Amino acid sequence: MSRRAKSIQPSATLSISSKAKELAKQGKPVIDMSVGEPDFITPKHIIDAAIEALNEGRTFYTPTRGIPELVDAIIDWARQRGMDAGVENVIVTPGAKYAIFEAIMATIEEGDEVILLDPSWVSYEPCVQMADGRVVWVPHNEGFEDAPIEDYVTSKTKMIVVNSPSNPLGVVYPKEFLKKVRDIAIDNNVLVLSDEIYDRIVFEGEFTSIARFDGMQERTILINGFSKTYAMTGWRLGFAIAPEEITKHMLRIQSHSVSHPTSFVQYAGVAAFKGDQKCVEEMVAEFRVRRDILREGLDEMGLRYAPPEGAFYMFVDVGRDSMTFCQELLEKEYVAATPGSAFGKAFSTWIRLSYATSRQNICKAIDRLGNLIKCTS
């Protein structure tokens, strides 16, 4: 096998979730709080648009960049957020994950350093490794809303990855922190990959896109997608907005690998962006209620966690080895959670709980978590 493939491990989030599904199939009362996947059915008008596209015969190859209708909808979306994007800046991909993979493959090579905040989502590091780059982990400050990135920039730094709201933290980074990242990026001629996939799922604070700051559009690769906002994980639809030179090279990779995202799925994406946004508001309101239930339960157990301001994760310190803890939580209490060690270097006693599951499941999970904490403390 290639060094490239051997250098990475399977995605922890997806493997734990598969294990949970297997146990559920065996009839065990599993509650899956491992994977970050909305449990809502995709809104009907989006499903209908895909069916209509199929019935109309939209079953052929599409342009590599994506269908013009969706590219235009993305340009409109960017305009509404104060950004000025043209067709040449947009690429539609099969999931945001593939946009990240292509962006890193297009820009990073041997010798390049990529700054990741510790903890960060599980797939950034493997993408950098596959591109032969080197990850430099930067710890967060107390409170998780700042990080001393400036101390870790070297002449080899090529990219800083920012993910706000953050997976796994749930933190929405304050404007001051993003402005600091902007200054560092501009002063050191560094790219920023801004993964904004949770931008609409915000409960506290205000989401700010770093791409909107002066001088940033020309060095930002903005990543977003439909999985989380519109409950469309299985559809595989995401996109990037980036400087033309970067999308040009991402397109080359896309044209020789997946060609483009599935044709009729792209029509569903147009319906998602152009249709009524009430479905998003309803889902976000429900996530908020679920977060409050989980937070209250964790408070009662006296557990410490990162400020849960957005996305649908709580990152919790359980005070003991999280690999063993998660294994016991699944095997004894049938609750699947992701160990903190999957997200970086400094969180071996933390776990991530995804509250993209029903209120009832969250209540049950709190009781079961309490059982394990009581019997192991």
Residue number with the smallest Cβ distance to ligand GLU: 36
Name the binder of 357 from ligand GLU, ligand PMP, none, CB < 5-8 A by kind. Answer: none
Among 31, 33, 35, 250, binds ligand GLU (CB under 6 A): 35
Among 14, 293, 323, 346, binds ligand GLU (CB under 6 A): 14
For position 194 contacting ligand GLU by CB under 6 A, the verdict is: no
Minimum CB separation of residue 72 from ligand GLU in Å reads: 27
The residue (of 297 and 310) whose beta carbon lies closer to ligand PMP is 310
The residue (of 157 and 163) whose beta carbon lies closer to ligand PMP is 163
The residue (of 124 and 144) whose beta carbon lies closer to ligand GLU is 124
Beta bridge partners of 220: 192
For position 365 contacting ligand GLU by CB under 6 A, the verdict is: no
Beta bridge partners of 350: 317
For position 195 contacting ligand PMP by CB under 6 A, the verdict is: yes
For position 11 contacting ligand GLU by CB under 6 A, the verdict is: yes
Among 12, 16, 46, 96, binds ligand PMP (CB under 6 A): 96
For position 105 contacting ligand GLU by CB under 6 A, the verdict is: no
For position 233 contacting ligand PMP by CB under 6 A, the verdict is: yes
Interface residues with ligand GLU (CB under 6 A)? 11, 13-14, 35-37, 97, 121-123, 167
Interface residues with ligand PMP (CB under 6 A)? 36, 95-97, 121, 163, 167, 195, 197, 225, 227, 233, 238
